[in-house]
Amino acid sequence: QGGPEQQSHRWPRMQGMADGCRVVAAAIASAPSLPCSCREMLAAAVDVSLGVLRHDRDGRQAAVVGFIGETLAQRKAELTEKMDLAEAATRDARARAAEAQSSAGMRVEEAGRAQAAAREVLDSHR
């Protein structure tokens, strides 16, 4: 267990682990590719598996950590795909906006030329 000095050095590390476990549990809970019961089971098991130091884990805890890793990898792939689709949609929208702006600019120029031509015709008939 150690004295107060040793425990004070361990506390931030333990707190960081607890914070990390909360983040992992939240990521698992938001994984739509898993059935609700699986998400709940894995999220509930984070503290007692991933929250245990690697060399202190038994076989079941190690297996759960493996499942958590697979789930997070799949979640990352899902989010990466969504982000890629969103970026592609953004690029497409920007391209369409630039095209529309260019087209509008050309129409304004055409209207200006038509107006100038109409003025010339009017001026020539005065």
CA 10 to chain centre: 32
Is residue 24 situated within a structural domain? yes
- Indicate the number of domains in the chain: 1
Residue 19 lies in a domain: yes
Give the model confidence (pLDDT) of 38-92 as tens digits.
999 999 999 999 988 899 999 999 999 999 999 999 999 999 999 999 999 999 9
Q: Which residue has the tokens 């506390």?
A: 11
Q: Which domain holds residue 63?
A: 4-95
In single-letter form, the type of residue at position 21 comes to C
pLDDT tens for each residue of 41-54: 999 999 999 988 89
Encoded tokens for 65: 């950590």
Q: Is residue 66 part of a domain?
A: yes
Q: How far, in Å, CA of 124 to CA of 32, rounded?
A: 73
pTM of structure: 0.63
Q: Which amino acid is it at 37?
A: S
Residue 81 lies in a domain: yes
Q: Is residue 123 part of a domain?
A: no
Pairwise CA distance, residues 33 & 72, whole Å: 11
What's the burial of 72, exposed, middle or buried (CB within 10 Å: 0-12/13-18/19+)? middle
What is the total residue count of the chain? 126
